Amino acid sequence: MTDEPWWRGAVIYQIYPRSFFDSDDDGTGDLKGITAKLDYVASLGVDGVWLSPFFRSPMKDFGYDVSDYCDVDPTFGTLADFDALLKRAHDLGLKVIIDQVYSHTSNEHPWFMEAAGSADNPKADWYVWAKAKPDGTPPNNWQGNFGGPAWTWHPRRRRYYLHNFLAEQPDLNFHNPEVREALLQVAAFWLDRGVDGFRLDVANYYFHDAQLRDNPHAEFSRTPPRTYLFQWHVHDKSQPETLDFIGDLRRLTDRYPDKMMVGEIGDDDPLARQREYTDGPDRLHTAYSFHLLDARHATPSLFVSAIEAWKGAYGWPSWSLGNHDVPRFPTRFGGEVPTAAQVSGYLAALFALRGTIFVYQGDELGLPQAHVPFEQLKDPFAMRAYVGGAGRDGARTPMPWSDVEPMAGFTRANQTWLPIDPAHPGLAPSVQECDPGSHLAVTRRLIALRKAHPALRVGEVETLEAPPSVLALLRTRGDERVLCVINLAPKATTFSHPALDGGAVLDTGLSASLSGARLDLPAHGGAYVRAAAEG
C-alpha cells in the first residue's frame, strides 16, 4: 500500500498473557492459549501483536520482575510454545513484538543474588548501591512509583539499593558497561529467535544521576495520593546517557530486517520526552506516552494537544487509549455506564490520529473497567495505593470469549486468577460477531479504513476549526484527503467545511448525516469523509 516500514501507521494488538486464554485449565492464560486465539486477532485486521512479559519471574509484579530474560515462565509454557506462537502468527501475517524490561530485574535474578552477596564479586556493581546518610536514612529523597522511598536497605551489603518500583525490582546500573552489554545480548537472543521488535518498558528509566542529587519538590494545591508525585523527577530518570544506550539498541535492531522498537515513556512532560526519544535515526522507531492513557476526559483539546506536540517532528508517535496499567477507557472517559456511541466515538478519535495505534485486548469489545473486590486484588500497586476501585487489576481481568460458557469461555477451571466481571460476558465476541453495529464491528471497520487509505495510515494531519465539542482532522497523502470529524459531547451539533461538499462518507459504523458541506452530528456521532482532491 505504501513504501513505509510495516510498523509506521500500523495497528498493534496488545495481549496480556495471563488474561487472554487458558489452554491448560489452571485459571491463568498461557502461550498456547494465545496461539489458539490468533485467528481471532488476525480477523480484526491488525498488523501485529505486542505480548506483555512471559519470562521467568517470581510474579511479584506479574512478569515485570524478570528472573531470566531468555526463558519462559512455566506459568505460560515453554520456549517451544513461544516458537509455535511466533510461527503461527507469522503464518497469519501478524508481526510479534515482545516486552523487554531492562530498567530492573527481580531480586531473585541470579545477577542480583550474586551482586548482593558481597562488595567484591564480579557483579557487585551491576545494581545501584549507595551508603546511608549518617542518620541511617536513604542517600537522597527519590521516591518510588509504588509509594515510599526508592531505596531499600540490604543488611548483607550494608548499603541501600535503588528500585523505582517494588523493592523486589532492583534497578540495574546502566553506568556499568557490562550491564549494557548483557542486555544487548538479551535483545539479540530474541531477535535471533525471530521476533519482529520490542516494546521497551519504562525506556527512559535506564540511567540515574550518578551524583544521586535530590529531586526538586513539586508545587501542588492538593496533596497527591502518592509520594512519587511530591517531586519533579529530574535526576532519577530521563538522563542524557539513556539516549546513548537507545542508540546501541537501535544499531543492534537495525542489523535485522524489518524490526522495530516502541518505547514506553513516562515523564513529567510526557509529549516532549516521547518526541525526544524518537528524534533521530539512532533513537527509537516510535514511542508512546501516558498523555492519552492518563487522561480522564476525552475532549477535542486532548487529541489536538497530542497532534500539535508532534508538528515538524523527525520521529513517529504511537497512541493508545488503554493498556494493562490504566483503567479501561470506556469507564475512564464515559463513566460507570458508557453508551455504545461514546465508545465508538472514542475509538474513531484514536484511529484518526497520525501515528501507530495500539489496541489493548478487550478495547475492541468496549469492555468497561472490571470491579474487583479489595480482598481479590492481586496487583501490588493497586493494594498499596488503594483509594477504592480495582486499580490496574480492573483492566487485567480475563478476556470474555463467550456469553454462555462457564467462566466466559476463558477457561474450564472453576476459578480464574482474577474474577470475571459479570458485565463482560455480554460483550464477548460470541455476542458481538453477529451485530453489525457492535464495538467489535466498528473497530474492524476503523482498522480496515486505515489499511485501505494511505492518508489515514501514514498521511499528514491538520486540525480544523470546529465547535468546542468536535474533533475535526484533515488527513492527507498525495491527492487523497480524508476528513475525520467526531462529536465528543452528549449533545448534537453541526460541522461545516468546504472539503465536505461532494465527499463520500466512509463506512465507520458511526452515525452522522452529510448534506453538501455540512455534517449533522448526533451525540458522540461522527464520520470519516473522503474529499475530492484539491484543484
210/143 Cα distance (integer angstroms): 16
45/42 Cα distance (integer angstroms): 6
Find residue 505's DSSP bridge partners.
529
Backbone angles phi, psi at 311, to 5 degrees: -65, 130
320/364 Cα distance (integer angstroms): 12
Strand 159-162 to strand 95-100: parallel, antiparallel, or no bridges (unpaired)? unpaired
Verify whether residue 178 is a known catalytic residue.
no
61/65 Cα distance (integer angstroms): 6
Nearest to 529 by CA among 471, 482, 466, 497: 482
C-alpha cell at 464: 480544523
Those residues with Cβ within 8 angstroms of residue 245's Cβ, 6 or more apart along the chain or in another chain: 174, 180, 206, 207
Quick one: residue 6, left, alpha or beta (phi over 0 = left, psi -120 to 50 = alpha)?
alpha
User: End-to-end alpha-carbon separation of the chain, Å?
Assistant: 24
Find residue 477's DSSP bridge partners.
480
The DSSP call for residue 174 is T
Catalytic option among 99, 168, 264, 364: 264
Contact between 283 and 473 under an 8 Å Cβ cutoff? The reply is no
Max CA distance (Å), the chain: 77
Strand 95-100 to strand 68-72: parallel, antiparallel, or no bridges (unpaired)? unpaired
Verify whether residue 108 is a known catalytic residue.
no
Catalytic option among 99, 201, 379, 393: 201
Contact between 207 and 245 under an 8 Å Cβ cutoff? The reply is yes
Those residues with Cβ within 8 angstroms of residue 200's Cβ, 6 or more apart along the chain or in another chain: 100, 102, 249, 261, 262, 263, 264, 284
State the catalytic residues: 201, 264
